[in-house]
């Protein structure tokens, strides 16, 4: 058996794709929705309860703090730009230059590296899902 917890986060971010032939090479923004799911590292087929003292796999408050510190506070209201973009040199108070195109797919792979080794003992990252729009999203299953 696996127990899985998911928490949703919302943030706004501007980005541009430097190698894209369409509209997304222009600076534009999205209201992103990020879903972070964690589960118990070891499957347990005979468990009748999780952690006796807390009754929790992971405290939602701790998951919230971790994701806010590592991702939301960094990326919310930031301008995220690939290093080879002509926009990488413009002045911006909250600009993040990345060595890859800031697509949903690449953002998830990067976000996973920010969270992977910071979860409590016995808890692993199960998936990350990010909505760029209501109808377009990417999901990373680890
Ligand atoms: Zn976009």
Domain extent for 56: 4-141
The CATH number of the domain holding residue 79 is 3.30.479.10
pLDDT reported for residue 54 = 87
Distances (CA, A) of 96 to 9, 74, 89: 19, 9, 11
Distance 10 CA to ligand 1 centre (A): 15
Q: Is the pLDDT of residue 85 over 90?
A: yes
Number of domains in the chain: 1
Global pTM value: 0.94
- The CA 15 to ligand 1 mean position distance, Å, reads 6
The predicted pLDDT at position 1 comes to 87
Inter-CA distances, 30 with 50, 67, 98, 101, Å: 38, 19, 18, 15
CA 79 to ligand 1 centroid distance, Å:
11
pLDDT of amino acid 55: 86
Active site residues: 24, 77, 132
Average pLDDT rounded to a whole number, residues 18-46? 92
């Amino acid at each position: 058996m696996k127990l899985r917890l998911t928490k949703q986060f919302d943030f706004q971010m501007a980005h541009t794709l430097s190698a894209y032939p369409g509209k997304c090479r222009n600076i534009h923004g999205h209201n992103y929705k990020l879903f972070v799911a964690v589960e118990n590292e070891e499957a347990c087929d005979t468990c009748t309860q999780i952690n006796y003292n807390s009754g929790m796999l992971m405290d939602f408050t701790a998951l919230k703090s971790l994701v806010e510190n590592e991702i939301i506070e960094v990326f919310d209201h930031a301008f995220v730009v690939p290093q080879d973009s002509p926009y990488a040199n413009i002045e911006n108070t909250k600009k993040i230059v990345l060595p890859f195109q800031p697509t949903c797919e690449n953002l998830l792979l990067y976000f996973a590296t920010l969270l992977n080794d910071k979860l409590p003992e016995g808890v692993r990252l199960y998936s990350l899902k990010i909505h760029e729009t209501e109808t377009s999203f990417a999901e990373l299953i680890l």
